[in-house]
Amino acid sequence: MMENTPFKNNIPAVLALEDGRTFHCRSFTGHGESAGEIVFNTSMTGYQEILTDPSYTGQMVTMTYPLIGNYGVNAFDMESDRIHAQAILVKEYQAWPSNHRAKETLSDILIRHRVMGIDALDTRALTLHIRNTGAMRAVISTRNQNSSALADRAQQIPRMAGLDLTGAASSKIPYRFSNGQKTLLNEGGSLIDRNVWRHSGHKTPVVVIDFGVKHNILRCLETVGCEVVVLPARADADLVRSLNPDGILLSNGPGDPEPAIDAVKTIRDLIGFRPIFGICLGHQLLALALGGKTYKLKFGHRGGNQPVINVVTNKVDITSQNHGFAVDAESLNRRDIEITHLNLNDGTVEGFRHRRLPLFAVQYHPEAAPGPHDAASLFCEFHETIKVLHN
């Protein structure tokens, strides 16, 4: 974590990977150290949304686009209440943004959230190394310039495979999301029930199980006519049933899906109760609840330019993605599960649906933020599925 030191834009730093590869760089957010799995994102814009995406919990993000910070940051583009990434690594940081929406600089928000910002880094060389060897653990430090010692420390960081991080990224208290605002529902431990819905008959009540949800998912649900109540990752099936929603959305989130045993059990218990839509980690957890398996990708999919084909319609969408694990196609029971989407770069599963039950999921982010809006219609599809069954 960063130390509370005055801003300096030229503090030497060292990045050391667990395999011994090191990079000299500098901190634009003051002295400090950071550690985690190091990954890369190929988006040209959207650094604020990326940093505040809870799916990056435990990870340091390398931006492949060379100039970062040029349009500043603002309150609306936050995808959660705080920065979840461990650090951001860029080639060149622009300390003087020029944009009418900017309220502060990238370094301002990083310093406030005690997250390191690193520049003067050969991000192309780092990205190529990750592509060749895979995402790995790493340490950044301005205080310790001993590359060998930092690499040794990187080897002591827990591996992402085997980590259930849903609890760390999830809200702790249920809340209502309306017009971009959160209203906490059971502060002090009071119980909630089906009387939580305020717009019965006018909006479609949907429960979102929060494994690290992005705000734009909630905005998209509101846009298509849903009333949204968000439950913590630890919520069980009995609580969901007691609220009597018309639909359930399983959110994105960080970490390895297979250790999230409680979440998988909850989802399994809810299958057949109401229509379910899974996004990213929610896609993986739904697959596990249906008897499938997941595995870790070599370096993951992170960026706003991932081509996905709908194998049912042959339509191709360019999608926003952020994940390091994938669903094993061979593990899915094809009598019950139909694979609907595939990644055109590597053939991995990007979506599936149940042949008889109203369950479907996608690995990518239809809400984008950042990224293209090609797949935004999936929220309409979810809403229409609910309405057809409810009527």
Are residues 366 and 231 located together in one domain of the fold?
yes
Give the per-residue pLDDT at 110. 97
Closest C-alpha to 350, from 305, 291, 307: 307
Q: How far apart are CA 153 and CA 355, in angstroms?
A: 48
Are residues 327 and 233 located together in one domain of the fold?
yes
Give the per-residue pLDDT at 241. 96
| Tokens describing residue 73 | 């940051």
Are residues 382 and 246 located together in one domain of the fold?
yes
Q: Look at residue 24 and tell me if it is in a domain.
A: yes
**CB-facing half-sphere around the CA of 328: CA atoms within 13 A:** 13
Calculate mean pLDDT across residues 228-244: 96
CATH classification of the domain holding 177: 3.40.50.880
**CB under 8 Å, gap of 24 or more: what pairs does 92-98 form?**
92/66, 92/67, 92/68, 92/119, 92/120, 93/9, 93/28, 93/68, 93/69, 93/117, 93/119, 94/67, 94/68, 94/69, 94/70, 95/9, 95/28, 95/69, 97/69, 97/70, 97/71, 97/72, 98/70, 98/71
Helix spans in the chain (H): 47-51, 106-112, 123-133, 147-154, 166-169, 215-223, 237-243, 261-270, 281-289, 377-390
* Mean pLDDT estimate for the chain: 94
Q: Look at residue 361 and tell me if it is in a domain.
A: yes
Give the per-residue pLDDT at 7. 47
Q: Look at residue 32 and tell me if it is in a domain.
A: yes
Are residues 117 and 173 located together in one domain of the fold?
no
User: Annotated catalytic sites, by residue?
Assistant: 280, 365, 367
Give the per-residue pLDDT at 194. 87
In this prediction, residue 3 has a pLDDT band, given cuts at 50, 70 and 90, of very low
Q: Which residue has the higher pLDDT, 182 or 9?
A: 182
| Tokens describing residue 217 | 């998912």
Using the predicted structure, report yes or no on whether residue 190 has a pLDDT greater than 70.
no
Residues 6+ apart with CB under 8 A from 367: 214, 216, 217, 219, 220, 279, 376, 379
Q: Look at residue 35 and tell me if it is in a domain.
A: yes
Give the per-residue pLDDT at 206. 98
Give the per-residue pLDDT at 279. 98
Query: 323: which strand partners?
Result: 301
Are residues 173 and 305 located together in one domain of the fold?
yes
Q: Look at residue 4 and tell me if it is in a domain.
A: no
Are residues 203 and 83 located together in one domain of the fold?
no
Q: 154, 175, 195: which is the final residue of a domain? A: 154
Q: 132, 154, 176: which is the final residue of a domain? A: 154
Using the predicted structure, report yes or no on whether residue 352 has a pLDDT greater than 60.
yes
Are residues 220 and 302 located together in one domain of the fold?
yes
Find out whether 221 and 379 touch, Cβ atoms under 8 Å: yes
Calculate mean pLDDT across residues 321-342: 97
Going by DSSP bridges, is the β-strand pair 181-184/33-41 parallel, antiparallel, or unpaired?
unpaired
Q: Which residue has the higher pLDDT, 194 or 62?
A: 62
Hey, how many other C-beta atoms are within 10 angstroms of the C-beta on 150? 23
Give the per-residue pLDDT at 1. 43
Q: pLDDT tens across 266-316, in order?
A: 999 999 999 999 999 999 999 999 999 999 999 999 999 999 999 999 999
The one-letter amino acid code at 128 reads: L
Give the per-residue pLDDT at 201. 79
Q: Could you tell me how many residues make up the chain?
A: 391
Residue with tokens 């899915």: 332
Using the predicted structure, report yes or no on whether residue 220 has a pLDDT greater than 50.
yes
Q: Look at residue 161 and tell me if it is in a domain.
A: no
CA angle 368, 374, 379 (to 5 degrees): 70
- Percent with pLDDT over 70 in the chain: 96
CA angle 217, 230, 267 (to 5 degrees): 90
Using the predicted structure, report yes or no on whether residue 390 has a pLDDT greater than 90.
no
- Percent with pLDDT over 90 in the chain: 92
Using the predicted structure, report yes or no on whether residue 4 has a pLDDT greater than 90.
no
Q: pLDDT tens across 110-124, in order?
A: 999 999 999 999 999
Are residues 148 and 234 located together in one domain of the fold?
no
Q: Look at residue 270 and tell me if it is in a domain.
A: yes
Using the predicted structure, report yes or no on whether residue 10 has a pLDDT greater than 90.
no
Calculate mean pLDDT across residues 150-179: 95
Q: Residue 223's domain spans which residues?
A: 166-390
Q: 101, 127, 154: which is the final residue of a domain? A: 154
Give the per-residue pLDDT at 6. 43
Handedness of CA 170, 175, 178, 181 (dihedral sign): negative
Using the predicted structure, report yes or no on whether residue 2 has a pLDDT greater than 50.
no
Calculate mean pLDDT across residues 181-210: 85
* Structural domains in the chain (count): 2
CATH classification of the domain holding 106: 3.50.30.20
DSSP string for residues in 95-149: SS---TT--B-HHHHHHHTT-EEEES--HHHHHHHHHHH-SEEEEEESS---HHH
Are residues 84 and 170 located together in one domain of the fold?
no
Find out whether 304 and 371 touch, Cβ atoms under 8 Å: yes
Are residues 130 and 171 located together in one domain of the fold?
no
Are residues 287 and 171 located together in one domain of the fold?
yes
**What burial letters (b/e) apply to 26-62, b meaning 16+ CB within 10 Å?**
bbbbbbbbbbbbbbbbbbbebbbbbbbbbbbbbbbbb
Give the per-residue pLDDT at 262. 97
Using the predicted structure, report yes or no on whether residue 5 has a pLDDT greater than 60.
no
Calculate mean pLDDT across residues 238-249: 96
Hey, how many other C-beta atoms are within 10 angstroms of the C-beta on 148? 10
Calculate mean pLDDT across residues 340-367: 97
Q: Look at residue 213 and tell me if it is in a domain.
A: yes
